[in-house]
Amino acid sequence: MRTEKEMLDLIIKVAENDDRIRAVLMDGSRADPDARKDKYQDYDIKYFVKDIKPFYDNNEWVIAQFGKPLIMQTPETIELIPPSGDGHFCWLMLFEDGNRIDLSIEFEQYIDDGEPVIILLDKDDAFPKININKKHWHIKAPNQKYFSDCCNEFWWCLNNVAKGIARDELPYVMNMFNTIVRNMLDKMIEWYIGVNYDFSVSSGKMGRYFRKYLSEAEYEKYSKTFSDSDNKNIWDSVFSACDLFQFTAKFVAVKLGFSYNQDEENGMMTYLNMMRKI
């Protein structure tokens, strides 16, 4: 696998040799001083140009610069998942040595929003001083309404999971539980971590750092919310999720001075116990 220096040298060299590319910026985890460092991190790169037309959907150009990837995706050309439509173009490239470059061609002026970035090249001295906000990715504290809405969504949507199990509708059950319900569980766990760390840390994309900030026992409880396709095991995971959610939600509520709707929990637990017996 090519080293970070080798990859950055290549990325910068391509830009230095092409007068159309005026600046190079790296964001993502490699620019974040608080992110866990390892060899699997992507290279999130932005090339700034004045005219995007020569680059747009020009796979021949990008392959000539970086080599042929094992697999590549160009989000702006995908109809199944419509792109943002802001006019830029991006190549997501995974290479044979395991390195990945997410290369975006940008033509609009960079807006500094505090996200950690590294300027690798600036031919025109066009970039302002970057004001890195170390709190940019930190967990944000909820307000009472946001907290209550999360609780309501978690408890309410479990009725769909229960009915799906009763009907033996595995795809529906798994999607409902592992998307809608789990999203609320993960959000509450984020706030739980935030409360414990004074909202000074990031839990990472999709909870990737949960294990770092939860105790061993807490993470073990969280791992039990994942299940195989056996209905009994699905029920076990549902009740594990309920136990973990009510614990973290009540903890967050106390620490932030929020009210917690115990009636919602009681009502859904009554329903779930009834459906499980069926």
Are residues 207 and 97 located together in one domain of the fold? no
Residue 164 domain boundaries: 144-277
pLDDT for 271 equals: 98
Are residues 150 and 273 located together in one domain of the fold? yes
Are residues 102 and 149 located together in one domain of the fold? no
153 lies in some domain:
yes
Mean pLDDT of the chain: 93
Q: Which range among 75-84, 121-130, 168-177 shows the weakest confidence by mean pLDDT?
A: 75-84
Residues 88-106 have a mean pLDDT of: 96
Are residues 68 and 186 located together in one domain of the fold? no
Residues 164-193 have a mean pLDDT of: 97
pTM (global) more than 0.75: yes
pLDDT for 257 equals: 98
134 lies in some domain:
no
Judge whether residue 112 has pLDDT over 90. Answer: no
Q: Higher-confidence residue: 161 or 87?
A: 161
Are residues 173 and 240 located together in one domain of the fold? yes
**Closest by alpha carbon to 43, among 67, 15, 8?**
8
Q: Which residues contact 106 (CB under 8 A, 6 or more apart)?
A: 46, 47, 48, 49, 52, 88
Q: Is 57 left (phi over 0), alpha (psi -120 to 50) or beta?
A: left
Judge whether residue 59 has pLDDT over 90. Answer: yes
Are residues 98 and 184 located together in one domain of the fold? no
pLDDT, tens digit, 9 for 90 and up, residues 215-274: 999 999 999 999 999 999 999 999 999 999 999 999 999 999 999 999 999 999 999 999
pLDDT for 260 equals: 98
pLDDT for 45 equals: 97
**Closest by alpha carbon to 34, among 184, 155, 134, 179?**
134
254 lies in some domain:
yes
pLDDT for 80 equals: 85
135 lies in some domain:
no
257 lies in some domain:
yes
pLDDT for 129 equals: 76
Residues 114-140 have a mean pLDDT of: 84
pLDDT for 85 equals: 64
Q: Higher-confidence residue: 81 or 42?
A: 42
165: CATH: 1.20.120.330
pLDDT for 198 equals: 96
75 lies in some domain:
yes
How many domains would you assign to the chain? 2
pLDDT for 84 equals: 67
Contact of 141 with 194, CB cutoff 8 Å? yes
> In residues, how long is the chain?
278
Are residues 102 and 203 located together in one domain of the fold? no
131 lies in some domain:
no
Of 58, 90, 122, the domain-final residue: 122
79: CATH: 3.30.460.10
Are residues 115 and 201 located together in one domain of the fold? no
pLDDT for 17 equals: 97
DSSP characters for 110-176?
P---S---EEEEETT--PPPP---TTTTSPPPP-HHHHHHHHHHHHHHHHHHHHHHHTT-HHHHHHI
108 lies in some domain:
yes
